């Protein structure tokens, strides 16, 4: 499992998405799942055509939102795929789910500050995708990431308050 963390989603501060890659006994990829707006989808095409030559599964990330899919065209089927990056930017304020409850969302105006900040990043998605290369130093254990998220967010939200 890979938990992929971003400080920002275009609609709210903080986002965490996941990719699950299932490996068989012969080290072959037998399945893949990806997170998609709080749900999950199959991340491996039935013809396995999104397994790259280097053995990695290719998935796409929704512009601004970070949901994942095996086909980039899937995002175009979402009715608000462009609006979330423009007129709906920032409307979620600060996301603080149950796992991090009470660890970083402080202050009465923090959602408004987050909304105003996120609106400065509004954009029109091009739907042109560029491969992203993950480097070894980007990978940490889940325990390290879980401890780092509140620290990063407290610092980010404090900077918005100043």
Question: Each residue's pLDDT tens digit in the chain (162 positions)?
Answer: 999 999 999 999 999 999 999 999 999 999 999 999 989 999 999 999 999 999 999 999 999 999 999 999 999 999 999 999 999 999 999 998 899 999 998 888 999 999 999 999 999 999 999 999 899 999 999 999 999 999 999 999 999 988
CA-to-CA distance for 89 and 106, rounded, in angstroms? 21
Task: Provide the domain limits for residue 50.
Answer: 2-161
Q: What is the pLDDT of residue 69?
A: 98
What pLDDT, on the 0 to 100 scale, is given for residue 53?
Answer: 93
Give the chain's domain count: 1
Q: What pLDDT, on a 0 to 100 scale, did the predictor assign at position 162?
A: 81
What is the spatial distance between Cα 92 and Cα 89, in angstroms, rounded to a whole number? Answer: 8
Q: pLDDT (tens digit, 9 = 90+) per residue, 26-62?
A: 999 999 999 999 899 999 999 999 999 999 999 999 9
Q: At what angle do helices 142-161 and 110-119 cross, to 10 degrees?
A: 90
When the pLDDT of each residue in the chain is averaged and rounded to a whole number, the result is 94
Calculate the dihedral angle through the C-alpha atoms of 66, 93, 97, 40, rounding to the nearest 10 degrees: -20
Q: What is the pLDDT of residue 107?
A: 81
């Amino acid at each position: 499992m890979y938990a992929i963390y971003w400080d920002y989603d275009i609609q709210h501060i903080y986002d965490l998405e996941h990719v699950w890659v299932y490996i068989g006994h012969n080290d072959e990829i037998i399945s893949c799942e990806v997170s998609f707006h709080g749900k999950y989808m199959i991340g491996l095409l039935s013809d396995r055509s999104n397994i790259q030559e280097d053995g990695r599964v290719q998935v796409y990330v929704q512009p601004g939102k970070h949901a994942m899919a095996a086909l980039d065209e899937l995002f175009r089927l979402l009715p608000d795929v462009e609006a979330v990056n423009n007129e709906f930017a920032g409307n979620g304020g600060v996301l603080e789910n149950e796992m991090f409850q009470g660890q970083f969302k402080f202050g009465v105006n923090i959602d408004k500050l987050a909304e105003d900040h996120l609106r400065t990043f509004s954009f029109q998605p091009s739907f042109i995708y560029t491969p992203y290369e993950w480097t070894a130093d980007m990978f940490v254990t889940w325990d390290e990431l879980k401890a780092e998220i509140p620290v990063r967010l407290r610092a980010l939200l404090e900077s918005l308050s100043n």
